[in-house]
Amino acid sequence: MKWSVLTLVGADQAGIVAAVTDALYQRGCNLAQASMMRLGANFAIMLRVSHESDKDLHQILDGICKEMNLHLHIDEDVNTDVSRIEPDVQVTVYGADRGGIVAQVTSALALAGLNIIDLETDVGGSKDKPIYIMTMEGIAKNGIDPLQKALDDLNTDIEINLDEINTLRG
């Protein structure tokens, strides 16, 4: 069994997810992690797919990509033995939309030992007063205190909340 990471991007339209996942399923592929979302007027899909090594994913998806005008990129997975990583911190950021928010916050957190597992951004508010919203989860390699200090030292006009995640297992 081989693992690949697929990225597909194209204009948002009904049926993209159904067409792509059905084609993969019909050819014996299995999906693991997936992230799919509308980005502007586009729709983006990222999939981790297992398949027999003789399966050509380009060939499997070529017809759908042409029909739906999707751009496909395929990478071989760098590690087939992947276990679920549980985040232990969540960071939320809110502020007037301006350039550099993601770079500023993630750079400070990276230096303080945050390994980001998931990050999402969006713009809310109104056209006249857009609000930038960012949520991320990760692993605090050096604990939560260095992360909080890094955020406190940012000296910025945005609101940033750092919360510890305690996952209970029973």
Q: What is the DSSP letter of 87?
A: P
Rounded Cα distance between 152 and 122, Å, is 23
**Angle at alpha carbon of residue 150, lines to 144 and 156, rounded to 5°:** 130
Average pLDDT, integer, range 160-165 = 95
Q: Is 78 exposed, middle or buried (0-12, 13-18, 19+ CB in 10 A)?
A: exposed
Statement: the pTM of the whole predicted model exceeds 0.85: no
Tokens 């050096």 identify what position? 142
Task: Quick: pLDDT tens for 32-80.
Answer: 999 999 999 999 999 999 999 888 999 999 999 999 999 999 999 887 6
Give the chain's domains with CATH numbers: 2-76 (3.30.70.260), 89-164 (3.30.70.260)
Task: Quick: pLDDT tens for 122-157.
Answer: 999 998 999 999 999 999 999 999 999 999 999 788
Tokens 């899909």 identify what position? 45
